[in-house]
Chains A and B, each alone.
Chain A
Amino acid sequence: MLILTCPCCGVTAEETEFHGGGEAHLKREGPGSDDAAFEGYLFHRENPRGVHFERWRHVYGCGKWFHAARDTGTLEVFGTYSAQTTEPPADLLEKIRERRPGWSWREFS
């Protein structure tokens, strides 16, 4: 069972206080988008063994959504950060490069 630190209220808590919300940094495709783009948005998800970016909600705590970068194989958590961004922060990406040389995930590496 994981422990995560909520970047919104600062609590480090066990997984039972949180709720996973799937892949992070999806771009919403609304009316007018073509079928392929919409299909990708609605259904296609990364499922890596290794570095992954996810959405989590501190559902039993402050109620806030946030992002987490972690390794799905070793469960190492590289960091958590605001949900209100379209890409992971630069220092976190740098840390992941140090910990997992050669990693890539979608357009990030």
Chain B
Amino acid sequence: MSTRLTQGGARIDRTKPVSFRFNGQQLKGYEGDTLASALLANDRMMVGRSFKYHRPRGVVASGTEEPNALLGIGQGGRFEPNQRATMQEVFEGLESTSQNHWPSLEFDVGEINASLSRFLPAGFYYKTFLWPRSFWKHVYEPFIRQSAGLGKAPKDRDADTYEHFYHYCDVLVIGGGLAGLAAARAAASGGARVTVMEQEAHWCGRAADDGAEAQVADLVAELEGMENVTLRTRCMGAGVYDHGYVLGYERLTDHLSEKSGPRHRLWRVRAGQVITATGAIERPLSFAGNDLPGVMLASALRDYVVQFGVSVGDRTVVVTNNDDAYLTALALVGAGLTVPVIVDARQGGGGALAAEAEAKGIRVLKGHGIAKVKGRKRVTGVAICKQVGEGAVTEEIACDAVAMSGGWSPVVHLWSHCGGKLTWDDAQAMFRPDGTRPPTGEDGKGFVICAGAADGAFDRAEVAASGTKAGLAAAEAVGQAGSVSDLTAPEARGDNPIEPVWLMPASAKRKLRAKAWLDYQNDVKVTDVQLAAQEGFESVEHAKRYTTLGMATDQGKLSNINGLAILSGALDTPIPQVGTTRFRPPFTPISMGAIAGEARAETFQPLRRTPLHQWHVDNGADFEPVGQWRRPFCYIRPGEDRHSAVTREINQTRNSLGLLDASTLGKLIVKGPDAGRFMDMLYTNMMSTLQPGRCRYGLMCSENGFLMDDGVVARWDEETFLCHTTTGGADHIHAHMEEWLQTEWWDWKVWTVNATEQYAQIGVVGPKARTVLEKLGATNIANEDFPFMTFQDHKLAGIDARVYRISFSGELSYEIAVPAGQGLALWTALMEAGAEFGATPYGTEALHVLRAEKGFIMIGDETDGTVIPQDLGLNWAISKKKEDFIGKRAQSREDMAREDRWKLVGLETLDKSVLPDGAYVLADGTNANGQRTVQGRVTSSYYSPTLERGIAMGLVLRGPDRMGETIQLNKVDGSSVAARIVDPVFYDKENTKNV
């Protein structure tokens, strides 16, 4: 059994016990424990079930590479699945649950999949479940959904907050081991701004193996004393992107009982140079039963003993192909535990460490391997065999843990994210960064440098020197060269070289290979990869997807190299030619909350509010989104629904007085000696002839000829125009103006300003509009003194206002612009003065119906980016005299000039019903896809309270030539409805009201 030792554990504080829960059971750990070490200390060897076969799985690693110990952490609004127990620090009250088992971790129904493993080979998803077809939906899929998958998604709203932080530095060092800290010291020596990120809670990385703790502590102290250095722990370098952009993922409260402030901080870093000192990951060995709980990476087992004072087993067999694992044997023996044998696959065995082990009386078996691990839910022993051959058992040894080491793979992920290339190092049997082909930045030069084990340096002196060299190079690259003394280091360890072992034993029979796991998380075995190769999935990327090797949250940290070595063997192609799959960010999964940052709740997205917003809120407004604006759709009074509210607003406006908050309309100022000429290019009609003081409706097209925006232009003075745009058009029409002025007609003397938000604009609409203005102080505004399509300045309720007599409803109407800060005062004054006429604020729906009754088009309803003004019967607003305007050339293209385009008409249902919005006008026959042929569509459709019937506008094939014809339109239920083609002006065709 695994247990806490009475001594040892550099990282734990035995004076600070903490209690936590696993699957509901109360357990004890110490401050400094990871959840993994604390579970092992409590003999919780089995922590989950594998993905496909539901095999019992235990902790395998001690860091980010852990594939098995994925747990659900927290509860309710703080629950998160798939968290690595090896990276989760324990704290008082921590809640954790295991995953992927049913009904319980100990007894799991899905375990039957393991007995069926012969029948669930690689690609079985693609081969099985194909027939009978109906079984997929009702049998196979529900079964797969029940049994597959890792953790369950959280159900509650996330109780935590998150934030982004933009950070700039000259040199960013990722990794706080000896190499990273040495690099930081060197990089900072010339004054460069240096930031160091370490994903763990402590510095040092694996340098503790080499007894470098004191040196690391000195380095940290030195760096802490430098003003130009920033140090962050619990902060993972998640991804390296173009031009020195790096994402750092800082976990601020995941280790705390009392949580306050943001949970995670996403560092959005721009660095001149990035040093990746990300260390290396130990590889498992591929032997039968290598996934049983109790089989662990040698370095992890060592960490649990040395760093956490946890014994994984009393009797540990060490199996290796390199010298590093001997450290584990020595550590175990040093802690008073038993190592019955070190199984070294190398005929020649190890170097100095091996001699030390033998001197301590540890038995070493050279040239041997493990044929098979015995046990069901945990290790009970191993069967030993020769490494060469098929696995004939030479002896069996009882043990309760196995420490394995297949060599080390540099963590090249961050180097590779943005295009750094790799090279195969035959001597060390690993891919390492090719320093001559780094990722390149905006200047075309490399911006990432690898250091330490990440660069293939493993000896302590080499690691330190590699870090120093990388730091100095980075400082020079950012123009802040410095110099430092070399770090001291002990003599090299005197290792014997590694001998690659990709399968144990080398010629293992199928029965053994079928139990030799490559990818624990995704349940991929040696035989699966061999099958993939046999079936033609020769590309490493194809083999990955076919077998699922290296997928999911793990992304092959343990399995990648072993898997491609097996693939290489199966294809009889050298490893470097097989290559690796692409390394993509993030290094390990980061939280969705960190990605969202502050963008949640009230700051999820900007909502734009008019100066009158609060009044609308206080007066029953039912808002609708119009882009980012929130505009009242209607104002609902007690006892009303939307429909009755809209009807009331329209009737009151037609009969007496309505008020509209039109502040969202774009207001763009165009000024200069060439303003008239520019306006003539922007609009389809002639604007340069507009007289100061007057207004004109205009259309704007894109260079494609399509109608883009419309609105009323007022000529403020000889050189100055005010262009009203649609609500949605304000920003992009201003950008459109600037684009033409800056990039095409830059010699024209024209300036523009977007004054949209300077003004509150209020529509005063209806027969009583003039009276109300007079009540507020306007004089001489009779129809003749202040005619339609002109503007005047007046003082209304003591406020300086510019009043435009324009109408989008057919009623007598004024739009009054005042500074935004006085909008509410004017609105309130208008409501008070209009009270005797029943002044009624109306919303966007009434606005739409009022305009539709008059046949006025609405951008976005009658237009959709394929409609030209000619389609809408707006030829009167297209100048024939102008040589040019934006879109003119396009409108003479053959397709635009076609006679048989869909054109705007009014539509009246024979039964007075309201047509479905977007309904199609049916034609005879079907198209090539068997769909009903159509000859038009509805663009706007409303119930008109004024006419007490449904009215609509639509684009219909040769519509204007077919007045009076009855056509059929489809309905959602599949039936059709008859409508008559009519003039789109439904109301007051003679314009008797706007006087």
Contact = CB atoms under 8 A, between A and B. Distances in A.
* Touch between chains A and B, by CB atoms below 8 Å: yes
Interface of A: 1-3, 14, 21, 28-33, 35, 38, 42, 55, 57, 59, 63-65, 71, 74-77, 83-84, 99
B448 to A, nearest CB: 14
Interface residues of B, number: 27
Interface in B691-713: 703-704
24 contacts: A1-B241, A1-B242, A2-B442, A3-B243, A3-B244, A3-B245, A3-B270, A3-B442, A14-B270, A28-B744, A29-B889, A30-B888, A31-B889, A42-B704, A42-B890, A71-B444, A74-B444, A75-B440, A75-B442, A76-B443, A83-B746, A84-B742, A84-B746, A99-B444
A3 B245 CA distance: 9
A69 B895 CA distance: 36
B442 A84 contact: no
Contacts of B241: 1
B739 interface: yes
Contacts of A74: 440, 444
A87 B892 CA distance: 30
Contact of A2 (B243, B738, B893): B243
Nearest 5 interchain pairs by C-beta: A76-B444, A84-B746, A65-B742, A77-B442, A3-B243
Contacts of A65: 738-739, 742-743
A10 to B, nearest CB: 16
B356 interface: no
B141 interface: no
Contacts of B245: 1, 3, 14
Nearest to B891: A31
Nearest to A84: B746
Interface of B: 241-245, 270, 440-444, 703-704, 735, 738-739, 742-744, 746, 883-884, 888-890, 892-893
B731 to A, nearest CB: 10
Nearest to B894: A35
Contact of A1 (B243, B743, B888): B243
A31 B882 CA distance: 10
**Which of B243, B742, B743 gathers the greatest number of chain A CB atoms within 10 Å?**
B743
Contact of A83 (B444, B742, B884, B890): B742
A42 B893 CA distance: 12
B659 to A, nearest CB: 35
Contact of A63 (B738, B744, B746): B738
Contacts of A31: 883-884, 888-889, 892
**Which of B440, B444, B738 gathers the greatest number of chain A CB atoms within 10 Å?**
B444
A19 B895 CA distance: 31
Contacts of A75: 242-243, 440, 442
B244 to A, nearest CB: 8
B742 A64 contact: yes
A40 to B, nearest CB: 12
Given A3-B243, A30-B889, 13 more contacts: A1-B245, A3-B244, A31-B884, A31-B889, A33-B889, A35-B893, A42-B704, A57-B735, A57-B739, A63-B738, A76-B443, A77-B442, A84-B743
A32 B889 CA distance: 7
A38 B743 CA distance: 18
Contacts of B742: 64-65, 83-84
A72 to B, nearest CB: 12
Contacts of B243: 1-3, 75
A101 B244 CA distance: 26
A76 B270 CA distance: 16
Nearest to A24: B743
Interface majority SS (helix, strand, loop, mixed), chain A: loop
Nearest to A74: B440
A2 B443 CA distance: 11
Nearest to A100: B444
A9 B53 CA distance: 61
A2 B744 CA distance: 26
Nearest to A16: B268
Contacts of B893: 35, 38
A67 B109 CA distance: 64
B879 to A, nearest CB: 12
Nearest to A5: B442
A22 to B, nearest CB: 11
Contacts of B738: 63, 65
A15 B883 CA distance: 39
B747 to A, nearest CB: 9
A76 B743 contact: no
A71 B419 CA distance: 15
B481 to A, nearest CB: 22
A35 B895 CA distance: 12
A31 B681 CA distance: 12
Contacts of B739: 21, 57, 65
**Which of B242, B243, B704, B893 gathers the greatest number of chain A CB atoms within 10 Å?**
B243
A30 B442 contact: no
B270 A38 contact: no
A18 B739 CA distance: 14
A33 to B, nearest CB: 6
Contacts of A42: 703-704, 890
B270 to A, nearest CB: 7
A31 to B, nearest CB: 5
A26 to B, nearest CB: 9
Contacts of A21: 739
A14 to B, nearest CB: 7
Contacts of B744: 28
B743 A55 contact: yes
A63 B738 CA distance: 9
A2 B743 contact: no
Contacts of B890: 38, 42
Contacts of B892: 31
A69 to B, nearest CB: 12
Nearest to A76: B444
Contacts of B703: 42
A30 B745 CA distance: 13
B713 to A, nearest CB: 22
A57 B776 CA distance: 45
B443 to A, nearest CB: 7
Given A3-B270, A31-B892, A38-B889, A76 B440 contact: yes
A1 B245 CA distance: 7
A31 B879 CA distance: 13
A38 B441 CA distance: 38
Contacts of A77: 442-443
Contacts of B889: 29-33, 38
A77 B442 CA distance: 5
B440 A30 contact: no
Nearest to B242: A75
A6 to B, nearest CB: 13
Contacts of B442: 2-3, 75-77
Contacts of B884: 30-31
A76 B742 CA distance: 26
Contact of B743 (A14, A30, A83): A83
Contacts of A76: 440-444
B272 to A, nearest CB: 11
A28 B888 CA distance: 12
A90 to B, nearest CB: 20
**Which of A21, A30, A77 gathers the greatest number of chain B CB atoms within 10 Å?**
A30
Contacts of B244: 3
A28 B884 CA distance: 12
A31 B705 CA distance: 12
**Which of B742, B888, B890, B893 gathers the greatest number of chain A CB atoms within 10 Å?**
B742
Contacts of A84: 742-743, 746
A2 B270 CA distance: 10
Contacts of B242: 1-2, 75
A92 B546 CA distance: 48
A33 B444 CA distance: 41
Contacts of A30: 884, 888-889
B701 to A, nearest CB: 13
A9 B884 CA distance: 33
